[in-house]
Structure 1
């Protein structure tokens, strides 16, 4: 894939550039000035800014810019496994492979019927990459930025093999927060969850909201369509709306684990919270010729507008 010149539209913008690492990236902008940046390495969303230019996703200051693996932060795709539970690398290979742009180069009119600017990416394994996977599939990812600044990711995976395809999936999403100790997570009350710190014991959430005072690594089962992250200091609420993703992962490494991670600053855990829409507890089994879709929409609203009937 060659070097691209910027491509602009008078209402929204699609810009294609090449990072210093040599990896192409795409920037979407809406008419109000919000933006989303996507790396073709892993189809990873590396930035999401509102119309005031404020960054909404966390990215580690110690992320390795020339690495061939997904950087710590943003939104990355975990597929075909989550964690170390499968036969391939941690969180799967999709996040560490170069994706292609399906409409290459993108049309000047990259809008859907709702007026969103978007980019469509395709992951289709080469013969060499098929060594990592016994299954043949097509994975399409649409990243879309709406006129109101909300961000959507829609994944469609088709099994083009002659055998059933079993996989796990997650959108690993690092939200930028003012201080993790001032954050509340609502929408997971009374749910069962698997605690990976105890070794994967099953618990039931007892509180009316989740607050953070220590390391958290949980998978909540049968979670609702919409979950809210309330950042009191910034008076900002993130709404996470999901479809086809029955589980929710909640993760923060806290101080001790942060110090042991080479790609995360010692104190950076204070300014991040991972809340992932996922399908982990019961992996997806896709029959030959069938397609699965999983969608997440991220919306930011002032906390004063938040109510329990979101």
Structure 2
């Protein structure tokens, strides 16, 4: 697959398939051999591999794979709520609904398609959804894999209702790591955060970087558009770039909580870290006809940390 970017046909790098449970999936590939796999029913990215076939997203050993149920791992779309805040199911219904492939999607920014393989998905409310969340919307999701192996998720939510509505949003992202004790996050120092383990009390981050030695569940507020997750043992750095998403959720259940989760292995907490680009502290409000756009780009650098990759510019719009 030695195509140049100028002649590379992104459609030739897309494979439609099914897993053993009959769940429809799409696999994106780039000419270098990197890949991303998306469950179409749930709009969930379940795999992101580099050109050496190394998996960069975590999936629990006890993950449950069945139709219309997001499995524990990968990248899950959480909306119109995050957590347990109203009558909707935990983290909203978007993750457990049937998304359709858009053959003729609305145009995105030109940079969203140039030199990338991508898939466009569409979610509209079903009648049962309107009973619990009575708002008309169109939710478009583009997942793209670039020539350099970067993975981008871009969401567009339009209000087609006659009244305003508000929603929360998060890309619930399970990163695969070597050992949670050997990982740190840079870019969130000095920020205020809400601690979900202390009734959402507000604190200020005091450390030079975030390190891990116990359960953590925090919402960092007014965060920069670029942060880094440094994995020393694996000599890999993940860079998370985002736009339209002011918050960053950091979560690891540690040992005690892991034992209470049926779809999570007791030792799995050592190999994962959730770093979510999100808008959850304050809901997004759309007037009739308005559209919101939010996106996240994941970059994996096979070396020690380099500040050049913290360039915050991500052309999302």
Check whether TM > 0.5: yes
1:238 corresponds to: 238
1:152 and 2:152 equivalent? yes
TM-score, normalisation: structure 2: 0.90
Is the 2:10–2:116 contact (alpha carbons within 8 Å) kept by the matching residues of 1? no
Which whole-Å CA distance do the structure 2 matches of 1:10 and 1:37 have between them?
Answer: 15
1:84 corresponds to: 84
1:172-216: CA deviations, max 9, x gaps?
000000000000101001000000101211000001100000000
2:38 corresponds to: 38
Divergent runs of 4+, >4 A? 8-12
* Shift in Å, 1:41: 2.3
TM-score, normalisation: structure 1: 0.92
1:293 corresponds to: 293
Which whole-Å CA distance do the structure 2 matches of 1:128 and 1:263 have between them?
Answer: 26
* Shift in Å, 1:133: 1.9
Which whole-Å CA distance do the structure 2 matches of 1:208 and 1:309 have between them?
Answer: 19
Is the 1:176–1:271 contact (alpha carbons within 8 Å) kept by the matching residues of 2? yes
Which whole-Å CA distance do the structure 1 matches of 2:112 and 2:191 have between them?
Answer: 36
Which whole-Å CA distance do the structure 2 matches of 1:266 and 1:305 have between them?
Answer: 30
Is the 1:11–1:30 contact (alpha carbons within 8 Å) kept by the matching residues of 2? no
Is the 2:10–2:115 contact (alpha carbons within 8 Å) kept by the matching residues of 1? no
Count how many residue pairs are aligned between Structure 1 and Structure 2: 298
Question: Kindly tell me: are residues 32 and 179 of structure 1, through their superposed partners in 2, closer, same or farther at Cα, counting changes over 3 Å?
Answer: same
Q: Which structure 2 residues correspond to residues 48-197 of structure 1 after superposition, within 5 A?
A: 48-66=48-66, 68-103=68-103, 113-197=113-197
Which whole-Å CA distance do the structure 1 matches of 2:40 and 2:131 have between them?
Answer: 21
Which whole-Å CA distance do the structure 1 matches of 2:286 and 2:188 have between them?
Answer: 28
1:87-135: CA deviations, max 9, x gaps?
200000000001000118xxxxxx9542111000000123343323210
Gaps of 5+ in 2: 1-7, 105-110, 311-317
Gaps of 5+ in 1: 1-7, 105-110
Q: How large is the Cα RMSD of the aligned pairs?
A: 1.9
